[in-house]
Amino acid sequence: MNRENIIKAIENGDTYLGIELGSTRIKAVLIDGEHNPVASGAHGWENKFEDGVWTYSMDAVWAGLQDAYAQLKRDVLETYGVKLTKMKAMGFSAMMHGYLPFDKDGRQLAAFRTWRNTITEQAATELTKLFNFNIPQRWSIAHLYQAILNGEEHVKDIHFLTTLEGYVHWKLTGRRVIGIGEAAGMFPVDSDNNCYDGKMVEVFDRLIADKGYPWKLTDILPEVLVAGEAAGELTQEGALLLDPTGELEGGIKLCPPEGDAGTGMVATNSVAALTGNISAGTSIFAMIVLDKMLSDVYTEIDMVTTPTGKPVAMVHCNTCTSDLDAWVKLFAQVISASGHEVNKPALYDMLYAKALEGAADCDGIIGFNYYSGEPVTGTEEGRPLIVRLPDTDFSLANFMRAQLYGTMATLRIGMDILFEKENIKVNRLLGHGGLFKTKYVGQRLMAGAMNTPVAVMETAGEGGAWGIALLAAYLMQKEKDESLESYLDNKVFSANPATVEHPVSEDVVGFNAYMEKYKKAVAVEKSAIENIVR
């Protein structure tokens, strides 16, 4: 759309809003009817480690949402000279899964336990055996059962259990619903019927029957919806929660709330069978849409779904760019101490480019980026770590390449199961997230690490906020019986070509050599966790 048409669309409410609460940033994106971003706003925030739990307060949630939306409104006003007061539809997304319990009066019963926690190993292990289905530690059911095993007093009072975006959606609309992609990380779902797996629900209810709780599992879980289904309207009270100025009108339609895994699939057009994407930011995960179920249960592989319920194999790792970012900040301090200043994006670009000058195997430098536990490698905590031999060529180029390899290494361990044991083939992986902001470098190295072509789209930089805005648009603009796959292919991505980097043989060989050392060095990381304590 040209500027004049965008102004008319904003004035007439012919736009769509997507807001995603990520791990370090809450981002709001406004798109027009042709799915193009026209304005954005953002709010930075960080999780806190309190009483042994990685968490965010709900006060921080609302302060961040209001600020991100206020920034969006300001962008609209400054860019187009009009006020944003309405839109056709909106949607909310957030970091996946976790634990948010409430009583019958809507009071929060326990601190929000985020995906980053690795405090549910006993529950996750027992439930995996009980269901013969992998239950990751971050899933809501693992947190719930761990609270039961711990004898936590609040469990008997639970009236509603949800995730972060489910909570926000509930407060804005009054509806206790969740998109199926996120529901699949609360409790296993039945992709044939798009609901929680009934047999596993019965098994769980029998497991805890002797506790005498006044609820059954489905009493407290949110209703499951798929993409394209109506999920309620913004109430007047909800409008004031998001925009305390009172300028935002109520009555706006909402799509089902989805986790960042689902919105990442949408933002990279990876919702059809045998498509895949890699999201690489604070955490890193890969999602492969399956055309058949896996032949076995793997604790390294999570089974979730697309926003329409198709089965998805997910490899999730808790840490990706956090330690890399810390080193870049350190280099910035060195530059500043020398009396110079450098633009942060330019520093990232320079250091990433330097990595391409390094040896393909980093000359023996091994980097662990673990800020928290990594279930894929069986570590309960994290210790960022650099290991090298004394005669290593400890150059900036080799160091930076090792840092970038370290963001991908744990993911590769899980992906080997899909590619080698399950013989899953994908033509390419769509990359999105902070690791791919610097053009070419992260994309090329990831292609080598996965030995698979990696594509990046310009719009993928908008991330999950754009993805949930697309789901809001799909709710209102889809034709009768039009699938999400068809809608994305024909109406969103047909004019959005991707740049593709194919694996470079030298990178593939070098990364494989790096991985041989990395797997052996996991023992060093575990020793660091055991012996380096406060």
CB-CB contact of 245 with 67 (8 Å): no
Helix ranges, 316-376 (H): 322-337, 344-355
pLDDT in tens, 109-136: 999 999 888 899 999 999 999 999 999 9
Strand (E) or helix (H) holding 37: strand 37-44
CB-CB contact of 511 with 362 (8 Å): no
DSSP output for 405-473: HHHHHHHHHHHHIIIIIS----S-EEEESGGGSSTTHHHHHHHHHHTS-EEEEGGGGGHHHHHHHHHHH
| Domains of the chain, earliest start first | 3-259 (3.30.420.40)
pLDDT number for residue 115: 87
pLDDT number for residue 397: 98
C-alpha distances in angstroms, 88 versus 2, 212, 296, 486?
Answer: 19, 45, 44, 21
User: Cβ–Cβ contacts within 10 Å for residue 164, how many?
Assistant: 27
Report the SS3 class of residue 374: strand
Residues in the chain: 534
List the structure tokens of 323.
Answer: 């330690």
Q: Cα 60–233–81 angle (5° rounding)?
A: 70
Average pLDDT over residues 19-40: 95
Cα–Cα distance measured from residue 153 to residue 217, given in angstroms and rounded to the nearest whole number: 17
Beta strands 16-21 and 89-94, pairing class: parallel
The mean predicted confidence, pLDDT, of the chain is 95
Q: Is the pLDDT of residue 461 over 60?
A: no
Strand (E) or helix (H) holding 68: helix 58-80
Confidence of residue 460 (pLDDT cuts 50, 70, 90): low
Cα–Cα distance measured from residue 1 to residue 80, given in angstroms and rounded to the nearest whole number: 13
Helix ranges, 174-285 (H): 180-183, 198-207, 217-220, 236-242, 260-267
Burial class (CB in 10 A: 0-12, 13-18, 19+), 189: buried
pLDDT number for residue 234: 98
User: Among 1-15, 179-193, 454-468, whose mean pLDDT is lowest?
Assistant: 454-468
Which residue, among 431, 488, 419, has the nearest Cα to 227 in the 3D structure? 488
Q: Is the pLDDT of residue 146 over 90?
A: yes
pLDDT number for residue 28: 97
Report the SS3 class of residue 38: strand
Q: Is the pLDDT of residue 463 over 80?
A: no
pLDDT in tens, 492-518: 988 777 899 999 999 999 999 999 999
User: Among 27-31, 176-180, 317-321, 520-524, whose mean pLDDT is lowest?
Assistant: 317-321
CB-CB contact of 138 with 197 (8 Å): no
Amino acid found at 323: D
Give me Rg for the CA atoms of the chain.
23
Cα–Cα distance measured from residue 402 to residue 455, given in angstroms and rounded to the nearest whole number: 22
Cα–Cα distance measured from residue 244 to residue 367, given in angstroms and rounded to the nearest whole number: 46
Amino acid found at 130: L
Cα–Cα distance measured from residue 60 to residue 152, given in angstroms and rounded to the nearest whole number: 25
pLDDT number for residue 494: 86
Report the SS3 class of residue 122: helix
Per the listing, tokens 């760019």 go with 321
pLDDT number for residue 60: 98
Cα–Cα distance measured from residue 324 to residue 404, given in angstroms and rounded to the nearest whole number: 7
List the structure tokens of 182.
Answer: 């996120």
pLDDT number for residue 118: 86
pLDDT number for residue 434: 85
Phi and psi at residue 320, to the nearest 5° = -130, -75
